Amino acid sequence: MDPIRKLAFVINQEKTGAPQLASALESIARSHGVDVKSSARFPIPPDFLAGCDACCVIGGDGTLLGIVRAAAEHQVPVIGVNRGSLGFLTTFSAEEAKVQFQSLLKGEYVVASRSLLDCSTGPDQHDLALNDVLIKTEANSRLARLEVFADGQLVTEYYCDGLIFSTPTGSTAYNLSAGGPLIYPTAAVIAMTPICPHTLSNRSIIFRDDVRLQVFDRTKARLLVAMDGQRNLVTCDTSPIEISLSRKRVLLAQRPGFEHFSVVRTKLKWTGGYADRSH
């Protein structure tokens, strides 16, 4: 990759050690002649990432999810430094960031291009999600009755606590907790997983990348449509909820030699294996 000449920092000051780490990394960047700007505001100011070569996010996965739309709009690679707990998206630890930051500034990183979900709930109600779109009733105690169509063909009607539409990136998030599948991050698919469906036969469904999904509310109750668990869209009584893969992508900076399943094994604490692998 090209060397980084203009770098934006987005800092979650509520995360322990994040401000101090940001100060240290900003000093490294400035000492190498990099033009630095920083923000601790959420959402970040409009066009904050315009003209930047990269954005360094210091916080947790939620912090990174908060700048996805801006990063996708400006096609700015995101360097995620984890000061949260799990850290599937913020793949650099604080120690790794300090040690490898000079190399990152020189362009010694690879970029993973990740798909985004495009969701519309009516006129002027539109957003992007890197992980997932959640549809449920606004009243948690009430079940949802949701009818799903794929390319105009009825899939089925769900009577459930809600539906999760997930990207491959988001398959390790709410989708996984609800019993959905793990998906390789570059697979061109959308996963749909019902939450506690009132049937024994409903399972997750994997749709191809160019599918056009529509969800109709048969509950006749106010629905909640949550984007990445952070932003809510207002539903329209006369319009279905429409979901598809966006043409835009988000770019995640990763160290050379990054291994997806190594991260999955570590974060999910996978154990087991054969004592004797000779067979």
The pLDDT value given to residue 275: 47
For residue 134, which of 81, 75, 195 has the smallest C-alpha distance? Answer: 195
Give me the percent of the chain exceeding a pLDDT of 90.
81
Q: How far apart are CA 205 and CA 97, in angstroms?
A: 38
The pLDDT value given to residue 124: 87
The CATH number that applies at residue 194 is 2.60.200.30
Q: Please, are residues 174 and 166 in contact by the beta-carbon 8 Å criterion? A: yes
Torsion of CA 236, 220, 204, 62, to 10 degrees: 50
Helix (H/G/I), strand (E/B), else coil: 114: strand
The CATH number that applies at residue 95 is 3.40.50.10330
182 and 139 both lie in a single domain: yes
Q: Which of 2, 53, 61, 132 is catalytic?
A: 61
Is 90 exceeded by the pLDDT of residue 269?
Answer: no
The pLDDT value given to residue 171: 97
139 and 45 both lie in a single domain: no
In a domain, 275, yes or no: no
The pLDDT value given to residue 202: 80
85 and 165 both lie in a single domain: no
98 and 129 both lie in a single domain: no
Mean pLDDT of the chain: 93
Query: How many domains does one find in the chain?
Result: 2
In a domain, 67, yes or no: yes
104 and 123 both lie in a single domain: no
The alpha carbon of 12 is separated from its chain's Cα centroid by a whole number of angstroms, namely: 17
169 and 205 both lie in a single domain: yes
Report which DSSP code applies to 172: G
Averaged pLDDT for residues 209-220: 94
Catalytic, 61? Answer yes
pLDDT digits (tens, 9 = 90+) for 153-175: 999 999 999 999 999 999 999 99
> pTM of the prediction?
0.93
The pLDDT value given to residue 272: 64
101 and 133 both lie in a single domain: no
98 and 149 both lie in a single domain: no
pLDDT digits (tens, 9 = 90+) for 238-252: 899 999 999 999 999
CB neighbours (10 Å) of residue 93?
14
Q: How far apart are CA 86 and CA 79, in angstroms?
A: 16
* H or E segment to which residue 101 belongs: helix 94-105
For residue 178, which of 157, 158, 148 has the smallest C-alpha distance? Answer: 158
100 and 77 both lie in a single domain: yes
Q: Which residue has the higher pLDDT, 276 or 58?
A: 58
Averaged pLDDT for residues 214-232: 92
